[in-house]
Every structure is written in C-alpha cells, then in structure tokens.
Amino acid sequence: MSLNSNGSMRKGGKSDAILDWLQMFSGVALIIFVFMHMSLVSSVIINPDVMDKIASTYEKNYMAQIGGPILFLLFLFHFYLAARKIPFRLDGQKTIWAHAKMMKHRDTWLWIVQVVSAMLILVMGSIHMWAVLSDLPITAARSAARVQSGPWLYFYLVLAPLVIVHVVAGLYRIAVKWGFIRNAQRGKLNRFATGLAVFFICIGLATIVRFMTLNA
C-alpha cells in the first residue's frame, strides 16, 4: 500500500515495486555522493591546497564537467520517484498531518521531515549546483569568495545541515523499510544515525567557518 498525491491509500503493483527499488538505489547513490562530497570539501580545513589538488584531479578527468550534469539528472530523477508519495494537494497534506499527530510515531514524523527538507533541497541544491558548475574550476579560493559574498553564508548555513538531516533520515528509513535492520536493532540504528548526523553537521559548519576565514 502507498499514498496517492491527495493523501489517500492505493494498492501498489509491480511497477510501484520497481519504482521503489529505483528510488532506493538512486537514494543510496546520492547518500554516498553527499558523504564523499562533504568529506572532500572539508579537506580545506586541513589545507586549501589539499582541496585544490582533489578538485583539480576531478576536473582533469572531466568528473566535474560530465559528472555534475549527470548528478543533477540523478537528483531530479530521485525527487521524481519520491514525489509519487508526497501529497501536494492541501486536503492530502492535512490528512497526513492529522495522522502524524494522532499516531505520534517517530518514523512518520521522520518521513515528514524528509518531505519538507526535500522540497527545500530541490530549490537550494539546484542553485548550489548552478553556482559551482558555472564557475569552474573549483578552487578553495573561489569557494571562499562565494561564501564570503552576499547572502551565501546564510544560504550554506541552512543548506548544509538540511542536506545532512535529509540523507541520514533517508539512510535510516532505507535500513528499516528494506529489512536491513530488525526491529530490535532500531535503537542502535537511531543512535548511530543521530551521531552520524551530528558529526557531519559539525564538519559542514567547520568547513563554512574555514571558508569564511580563508584569505581574511
């Protein structure tokens, strides 16, 4: 069973199962990318030259020029798959909200957090990708200049934690939904996911601070 866009229940079929698998695989691919991306960008904390060398290696192999657009298409494809279960009509949203308050179930609220964050990431993530890919090559100095100019600091202070919360919530829900974690192990998974989120949020904020102080 799954949700229609108006919040009502409908029976799933073989095509829904295939789309669910595609949603999971695209989600896992994006989760891996986010953790790798944040790890590589955070190398600026160690030394800006380290980040420049990593970025240069990627660009020499055309991974930024080709991989960037492919990543953006994967990003849109994953959102399209996930949007099948998001109620866009007001009455559907009211139904979901009422059910969440009535059941007081943590995983239901986690799904709502994912939906809200997905909407924001769709817009903010697209802006970030455009800003980066339209200003190649990627360097620590250019990234720092962008963070230090205009509203970009506040933009990334919102986007970085938002992305981490979304992907960690996604990782948790994939593990539970597809049976990788048993019910008895949910407590451990919850603690691991919380720790992972806190760790990467701290790394993200430290990276932003480093960009703000670079060449200052």
pLDDT tens by residue, 13-32: 678 788 888 888 888 888 88
CATH architecture, range 9-213:
Up-down Bundle (1.20)
> How far is Cα 197 from Cα 113, in angstroms, rounded to an integer?
14
Identify the residue with better confidence: 16 or 166: 166
> How far is Cα 179 from Cα 173, in angstroms, rounded to an integer?
10
Retrieve residue 100's tokens.
Answer: 């969440």
Residue 37 assigned ligand-binding role: yes
Q: Which residues pair with 106 in a beta bridge?
A: none
Q: Yes or no: say if 27 and 170 are a contact pair by the CB < 8 Å rule.
A: yes
Q: Yes or no: say if 5 and 89 are a contact pair by the CB < 8 Å rule.
A: yes
Check pLDDT > 50 for residue 7.
no
Retrieve residue 183's tokens.
Answer: 């019910």
Residue 128 assigned ligand-binding role: yes
Least confident of 106-110, 117-121, 127-131, 212-216: 106-110
Where along the chain do its domains lie? 9-213
Query: Rounded mean pLDDT of the chain?
Result: 80
The DSSP bridge pattern shows strands 2-3 and 9-10 to be antiparallel
Residue 105 assigned ligand-binding role: no
Q: Which segments of the chain does DSSP mark as H helices, in order?
A: 14-41, 48-60, 63-83, 90-103, 106-133, 140-147, 152-177, 186-213
Query: What band does 201 get if pLDDT is binned at 50, 70 and 90?
Result: very high
Check pLDDT > 80 for residue 94.
no
- Tell me the torsion sign for CA atoms 55, 61, 65, 68: negative
> How far is Cα 188 from Cα 174, in angstroms, rounded to an integer?
15
What is the pTM assigned to this prediction?
0.76
CA triple 206-49-130, angle to 5 deg: 65
Residue 99 assigned ligand-binding role: no
Q: Which amino acid is at 193?
A: A
Q: Yes or no: say if 142 and 152 are a contact pair by the CB < 8 Å rule.
A: no
pLDDT tens by residue, 35-71: 888 888 999 998 988 988 888 887 777 676 677 788 8
Which DSSP state fits 180?
S
The candidate with the shortest Cα–Cα distance to 113, out of 163, 150, 176, is: 163
